[in-house]
Amino acid sequence: MRGGMKIRVGTLNIFNNIFHHAREQIFNYSSEYANSISRQHLLYSHLFATPLDIICLQEVDLFMVRELKRECTNYDLTLHSPVLGAVSPKSNNCCVIYKKSYKLLGERHFDLEKAVQKHFTNYSSESRCEIQDAFLRELTKRQSAATMILLELSERNIFLGICNCHIHWNPSYADIKLFHTYLIVKEFYQFVRTNLPDFPFIPLLLMGDFNSTPFQEDHGNAPHTHLSGVYELITTGKLSKMHAHHPAQLRNDEVFYMYPDLNIEPFKSAFKEVNGNEPVFTNKTETFSGCIDFIFYKGLVPISAETTPNQLSEVERLPNSTFPSDHILLTSEMFLV
């Protein structure tokens, strides 16, 4: 009987100023802030002060890809970034840092256009319905990113699949976020099974910035009772076309009832399982405060789930003088059998 091992994992959107401006959001930070030396040192102190075996980072621009690769060598870590042709010089790259002793078995950069063609070709109307075709074009136009890797953690055939993703940001397109998440998870499962066909049970991590809160936004003071489309799909494995975030409900045309209920193999949330709930927020600015970053897992046992900063009630706004991003760092210690 083989033994298990513990790993410490984390996820952080490191705040790429250029990417935020590309989204036409208003921030009161200078354009130099994102790549300032003081901010880099602050970022490194949080990423590397507490040893983490695996770190998923979002919004890593090309400058920070180079800087982080150099910094990782001081800690016996490897930074995996999208292949050169897929790297976005100024905006949204999903990178994974892992211990140098781990062996990389496979990698895939999520190709949104190919995924839409693969999974939704049957729903193309071939110009019989412009609205339906417009939705498929919009699925491709609204960008989400994901980097998938497969690691061998030891010589005892302990494998781990990791998907680091950053889902489309615009709150007006909940159905786009939902379908992008569905496509990423489907491609993730296919990627793992293609690379390790003889191992039917591989532990998986699905981490990153999902730009969706656990619950739908309620008006007034009503309690949160209905899960958002993205969170419900990931944690239950299914999403009915009757859900408010399915295009059949969100878009005012009966043609969208042609799109199916969505089904995947579900994940669990580390914070929900360990602490009983998600953090009160993972992203906090002048205009928004909410939990949109998550550590989801399958086939592991979470032991702890913590945030940095730790005392979220004392945080008024991010980034600040003690933390370099508008997102917090999520970490979890996990056990692999």
3-class state of residue 266 by DSSP: coil
- Residues 52 and 50: their CA atoms lie apart, in Å, by 6
Query: What pLDDT was estimated at residue 218?
Result: 62
- How many helical (H) and strand (E) elements, i.e. helices and strands, does the chain have? 9, 16
The pLDDT assigned to 253 comes to 86
Round to the nearest angstrom and report the end-to-end CA distance of the chain.
10
Distance between CA atoms of 324 and 43, rounded to whole angstroms? 6
pLDDT score of 171: 94
pTM here is: 0.92
* Residue pair 325/42 in contact by the 8 Å Cβ criterion: no
Contact at 8 Å (CB) between 9 and 52? yes
Q: Which residues of the chain have pLDDT under 70?
A: 1-3, 17-37, 84-91, 124-129, 218-223
pLDDT, residue 21, reads 45
Task: State residue 56's pLDDT score.
Answer: 99
The residue type at 337: V
> What would the pLDDT profile of 64-121 be if each residue is shown by its tens digit?
999 999 999 999 999 999 875 555 545 679 999 999 999 999 999 999 999 999 999 8
Tokens linked to 157? 């055939």
Where exactly are the structural domains of the chain? Answer: 5-336
| Per-residue pLDDT at 129 | 66
Please choose, from the candidates 260, 261, 262, 256, the residue with its C-alpha nearest in 3D space to the C-alpha of residue 129: 256
* Main-chain dihedrals φ then ψ at residue 253, nearest 5 degrees: -160, 130
Burial of 252 (0-12, 13-18, 19+ CB in 10 A): exposed
Contact 158, 336 (CB under 8 A): yes
DSSP β-bridge partners for residue 12: 57
Token pair for residue 4? 């298990």
Which CATH entry fits the domain spanning 5-336: 3.30.1490.20, 3.60.10.10, 3.40.50.300, 1.10.287.110? 3.60.10.10
